Amino acid sequence: MKIVITGGAGFIGSSLARTLMKHCEISQIRVIDNLSTGRKENIAGLDVHFFEGDIQDAALLKQAFHGADAVVHLAALPSVPRSVQDPLASHHANATGTLQVLEAARRAGNLHVIAASSSSVYGANPRLPKREDLSAAPMSPYAVTKLATEAYLSAYHYSFHLPVLPFRFFNVYGPGQRADHPYAAVIPKWISAMLEGRPLTLHGDGTQTRDFTYVDTVCRVLADALLRRVVEPRPVNLAFSTRTSLLDLIPQIEAATGVRAHLERTADRVGDVFHSQADSTRLRALFPTITPTPLEEGISATADWLRTEQRMHSPA
Ligand code: NAD
């Protein structure tokens, strides 16, 4: 099988490339990435064909999709606050970009397309756990772009028989996730702050909850979906129905880093969802053999990776 990963130089995409390399059924991995938030060093040393460029470039997509079997579409400008700063940039990359990917997949002979939507589409809908058939209530431009992503997959399925699978990722974390930018996710940001002896910035009171999913678990689901060619036009939550508050994370990170946390409290973030917990019934029915990596194990591996990164980049 020849697989294209859009956004393959990013956090989840490069981890997926590493996972797919372990499967003998996968003969070639192609990565398309414009390196806007990803890095070339994430795929350094991996056996991948790299197409540097934008998913809005139809000619580049045509070249990269030629002769491929499937596409895992991860390219997007992630982050809620980034989309609040610049809604149009998020729309172009995430919504228009997805349409371009689907059009190229259709023209290349109806490739299997698996794409990343997000739990942010549930937004202001207060019901828990988040079942896929709850009504969407986006609270940020980012959430709208992800709703468009999954809606376009559904439309291409029904209009053109494109074999699709839209996943709603929840809070994915793990080795490879950058902590050194303003839109960094909470787990790498806090681990990195603790390793450097800085206080943890806490938005709100810390009782907000998340369904954290370890990146290796996500990649194992994606690989299984590719290898068994799982097709499902309805969105599928990719999380295992856990519920961890930000305050609950602190002792786990303290244990993994061996450092005592100091909090710096600040205001809630605009567009942030308060509680997030997946209903995983649909996921478990489609992927019965996948068991998630426990949070404690994932945080410990993430801390090990960030510690090594800090050593490598600190002045000798
Ligand atoms: P990431 O920023 O590390 O990866 C995204 C990659 O896409 C980057 O390498 C970036 O350079 C590339 N990219 C962005 N715009 C592009 C464009 N126009 N053309 C080509 N490449 C482009 O983020 P990630 O955390 O790996 O996220 C992967 C996907 O999962 C995204 O679609 C994101 O919205 C989604 N997602 C992630 C999470 C999470 O917790 N990490 C949660 C929900 C959804």
* Residue range 186-218, pLDDT digits in tens: 999 999 999 999 999 999 999 999 999 999 999
Atom index in ligand 1 nearest the CA of residue 35 equals: 11
Atom index in ligand 1 nearest the CA of residue 78 equals: 34
Q: Quick one: what percent of the chain has pLDDT higher than 70?
A: 99
Can you give the length of the chain in residues? 316
Is there a single domain that holds both residue 186 and residue 145?
Answer: no
Give the range of the structural domain holding residue 145, as residue numbers without chain letter. Answer: 2-172+213-238
User: Tens digit of pLDDT for each residue in 266-293?
Assistant: 998 877 778 999 999 999 999 999 999 9
Task: Name the pairing type of β-strands 244-245 and 209-210.
Answer: antiparallel
Is there a single domain that holds both residue 221 and residue 137?
Answer: yes
Is there a single domain that holds both residue 199 and residue 147?
Answer: no
Is there a single domain that holds both residue 106 and residue 156?
Answer: yes
State the chain's mean pLDDT as an integer: 96
How far, in Å, from the CA of 11 to the mean position of ligand 1? 7
CA distance 195 to 261: 10
- 10 pocket-lining for ligand 1 (C-beta < 6 Å): yes
Q: Phi and psi at residue 122, in whole multiples of 5°?
A: -70, -30
How far CA 181 is from CA of 102, 184, 262, in Å, comes to 30, 6, 21
Query: Are 173 and 302 contacting, i.e. CB atoms less than 8 angstroms apart?
Result: yes
How far, in Å, from the CA of 10 to the mean position of ligand 1? 6
Is there a single domain that holds both residue 124 and residue 218?
Answer: yes
**Whose structure tokens read 């797919």?**
20
Is there a single domain that holds both residue 229 and residue 247?
Answer: no
Provide the domain count of the chain.
Answer: 2
CA distance 246 to 243: 10
- 51 pocket-lining for ligand 1 (C-beta < 6 Å): no
Is there a single domain that holds both residue 83 and residue 162?
Answer: yes
pTM: 0.97
Task: Give me the pLDDT at residue 316, please.
Answer: 63
Is there a single domain that holds both residue 114 and residue 247?
Answer: no
Q: Which of 42-51, 87-96, 120-129, 265-274 has the lowest mean pLDDT?
A: 265-274
